[in-house]
Structure 1
Amino acid sequence: MSTDGNDSPLETLLLPFASGALAWPDDGALFLRARDGWPLHRQPLPGLVCVQSFKPEYDRLQRSGLDTDDTQRRFPLALVLPPRQRDEARALFAEAISRLQPGGIVVASMANDEGAKSGEADLARIGGPLQTLSKNKCRVFWTGPLNDAADEALAAQWQALDAPRPILDGRFVSRPGVFAWDRVDAASALLARHLPDDLAGVGADLGAGYGYLAAETLARNPRVAALDLYEAEARALDLARINMRKIASSATLGFHWHDVTAGLPQRYDFIVSNPPFHAQGRADRPDIGRRFIAAAADALKPGGRLWLVANRHLPYESVLDARFGSVRTVAQQDGFKAIEAIKAGR
């Protein structure tokens, strides 16, 4: 996806309908990993149902008035914007086929530098022969009318790729496509090693992922009364709910599918965070981290503490210095920095 306001994969996804190669079905279409953008509003798309598990994109779809109410019915057409992570994309192709009416068609689009060639080959493996168009440095490819997957056993195998699975010797469960899905990322590990043992009261984990930092926080801090986990990706938040059930803690837990950059709904004694610095593309987005820091500053009580980890090169110091009474770098290692920031008192 471009960062200049154009969404080339989305525009290319609708190319077969704009060119007349495909007709829009009377019974509508299911759009998996849907994103809003001008191509969705260029021509009427009656009956379009958009499915998106990433809260910022979901919110954009709703603000545009698009239907996000998936009732699990079957459709004559499934549109897909597959992610770069290949196992996640394969699961999505299998899901798309499973949601078709008899004779339905799957249409997918990917940027050439985001795995379009591999995505096209994968859809052909379970969907049979494809047709393809290229434009905008992207490919759009679609199946013929399907009654079932061309390889039903493979389709079932790929659909299972999205199921939660044990990682880290069974300590957590995770799934492909979630950030650092099969490991502890180095930044979170650095912050966890330097977390204090005197955090107390009500806290929050911003960008909680599958729950690693939240689990480490509670393991070190028995005086925490409550911890809210905020995560924009619903697939990750579902994992965090499972993983936090295993934690031996008396703390009350809250789980929030929420875009942290829009602000937080309540006040906290402390916050921990490994904020994202990418959106759904690969380019650095330090503005996201800065907005996480601003949201934390607004939500912390006077004297509240933010424990933050970030890539060393990301320019967060200006917003930290502006929004907090004191800021110190606790540790630097492997290109990351762990920071404690304390909000000024009244």
Structure 2
Amino acid sequence: MKSLKTLSPPSQLVVRQADQINSQALLVVNPPDHEWRHEFPVVAGWHLHAGWFRGWSQLGSEHQFGTTPPRGEYDGALIWLPKEKKLTDYILRQLATCLPKGAPVWLVGDNRSGIKSIHKQLGEGYSPAQKVANGSHSTLIVTTLTEPAETCQLDDYRHVFTPPQEGQPLSAEGATAAQIVTYPGVFAYPKIDLGSTMLLAHLPSFKRGSVLDFACGNGVLGVSLQLQQPDLKMTYLDVSAMALAACAATLELNGLQGTIIAEDHLGAELPKYDYIVSHPPFHTGQATDYSIGQQFLRNAREHLTPNGELWLVANRFLAWPELVEESFGHCERVFTDNKFAVYRAVNTVQRAPKKRGRRR
């Protein structure tokens, strides 16, 4: 394995404490890196982040991206703690359906992720947590499954809401109000975030064409547009398995169809769209991470048709307008308040200069 410095801090701590993780058939849950995998008896992985899953996907079908763990024979599990408490609760309940009684469950996380207070969150079925070690600004703890469970359903955590309508395109006469499904781990669960609310209030009425909802979350932006104009051809893209499950459920609940893609960037294989709408992320788990949003804005123009439009909302402190200007040559500030701003850019077609004929 290469230097520990190439790993995330929680993974560095895990490697240093390898002798404390003594399972013989280990299920790993949502690890952000994979270079350490040969240090442990990893037999399967449950991955909720499409980008992180990429490094594991070549290792076999035992590694799965989705909202439920792969079924198999495990005698322990190792979880990289998510920042959302409800998602942690869901993961622990799912593991109780696939681990034997007495199985150890290790949890590792950045000290800002809530790992230090996890003992308050362990519900029925798990023993009190014990700290194994700390270091690299992270903590490793262990608990034991005392009561296995028969089932755990994703829809036990389902929440449905209607986004605000005032000032939005959906306030047009005859439009249907969207019903949005969301699950733990989806941004702003269990409701809509303020940035997306602002973007919805200022999006125009797209009459026709193809639309990409990048970092779609529960699908609130695309579904709201699609309900106003059903002829739109919608594509929804997100890195999160929980978000994509919520988006699929939202489409079904509203009687709509769309293409759903698990990805963390605009790949070269994606087509061009007439419109791209987004509230780009700037966090990966607990850590601030501008890379996904930066790469998206640098590549967005390449995935727009001539005169195609980019619409996005972002926190005002983010330097997204500069990136948009670098790519598009301009960036229009449509609306702003003391926290968010809505931006628009057009993939303007550059006309070739006319050739001047010779004078006779």
Q: TM-score range by the shorter chain?
A: 0.7 to 0.9
1:54 aligns with 2:68: no
Residue equivalent to 1:10: 11
Match in the other structure for 1:256 = 261
How much has 1:315 moved relative to structure 2?
1.0
1:266 alignment counterpart: 271
Pairing 1:212–2:216 present: no
Q: What are the ranges of 5 or more consecutive residues in structure 2 without an aligned counterpart?
A: 164-177, 351-360
1:31 aligned residue: 28
* Cα offset, 1:263, TM superposition: 4.8
- Per the TM alignment, residue 64 of structure 1 is displaced from its structure 2 partner at its CA by 7.7
Give the CA deviation at 1:319.
Answer: 2.4
Deviation of the 1:62 alpha carbon: 3.1
Equivalents in 1 of 2:278, 2:21: separation in Å? 46
Q: Is the 8 A contact 1:232 1:259 kept in 2?
A: yes
Deviation at 1:37, TM superposition (A): 4.4
In structure 2, what is the equivalent of residue 229 of structure 1?
Answer: 236
**One-letter amino acid of the counterpart of residue 319, structure 2:** P
Match of 1:143? Answer: 143
| Identity over aligned pairs, percent | 23
Query: Given residue 267 of structure 1, which amino acid in structure 2 is its aligned partner?
Result: K
| Residue 245 of structure 1: aligned partner | 252
Q: Structure 1 counterpart of 2:210, which letter? A: V
SS in 2 for 1:106: strand
Please say if residues 84 and 115 of structure 1, whose CA atoms lie closer than 8 Å, have aligned partners that are also in contact: yes
Larger Rg: 2
2:354 alignment partner in structure 1: none
* Gaps in structure 1 of 5+ consecutive residues: none
Amino acid corresponding to residue 164 of structure 1 in structure 2: R
Check conservation: 2:238, 2:264, Cα contact below 8 A. Answer: yes
Q: 1:15 to 1:108 in 2, by over 3 A?
A: farther
AA aligned to 2:32 is R
Contact 1:30–1:50 (CA<8 Å) still a contact in 2? yes
Q: Is the alpha carbon distance of 1:11 and 1:311 closer, same or farther for their aligned partners in structure 2, counting shifts above 3 Å?
A: same
The 3-state SS of whatever aligns with 2:100 is strand
TM-score (norm 2): 0.80
- AA paired with 1:318? E
Normalised to the residue count of structure 1, the TM-score between the two structures is 0.83
**2: CA distance between counterparts of 1:288 and 1:93?**
28
Which of 299, 306, 312 aligns to 1:302? It is 306
Three-state SS of the structure 2 residue aligned to 1:126 is coil
| 8 Å Cα contact 2:119/2:128 also seen in 1 | no
| Paired residue secondary structure (1:11) | helix
Encode CA deviations 1:90-112: one digit per residue, 9 max, x unaligned. 22122223221344221111233
Hey, what's the Cα distance between the residues in 1 that align with 2:57 and 2:346? 36
Residue 63 of structure 2 contacts residue 70 of structure 2 at CA under 8 Å; is this kept in 1? no
How many corresponding residue pairs? 327
The whole-number CA distance in structure 2 between the counterparts of 1:265 and 1:323 is: 18
What secondary structure does 1:75 align onto? Answer: coil
CA distance in 1, matches of 2:341, 2:93: 40
Alpha-carbon distance, 1:331 to partner = 0.7
Query: Structure 1's 129 and 269: CA in aligned 2 closer, same or farther, altered over 3 A?
Result: closer
Matches of residues 1-346 of structure 1 in structure 2 within 5 Å?
Answer: 5-18=6-19, 21-25=20-24, 28-41=25-38, 43=39, 45-62=40-57, 68-69=63-64, 71-123=70-122, 126-136=125-135, 137-144=137-144, 146=145, 148-149=147-148, 163-168=157-162, 171-224=179-232, 226-247=233-254, 253-263=258-268, 265-283=270-288, 285-324=289-328, 326-346=330-350
2:90 partner SS:
helix
Per-residue CA distance 1:204-260 (angstroms, 9 max, x = gap):
111110011012222344552x111111111111111111224366xx521111222
Change beyond 3 A, Cα 1:147–1:281: closer
Q: CA deviation at 1:128?
A: 1.5
- RMSD (Å) for aligned C-alpha atoms: 2.9
Which amino acid is the alignment partner of residue 7 of structure 1?
S
Give the C-alpha shift of residue 274 in structure 1.
0.9
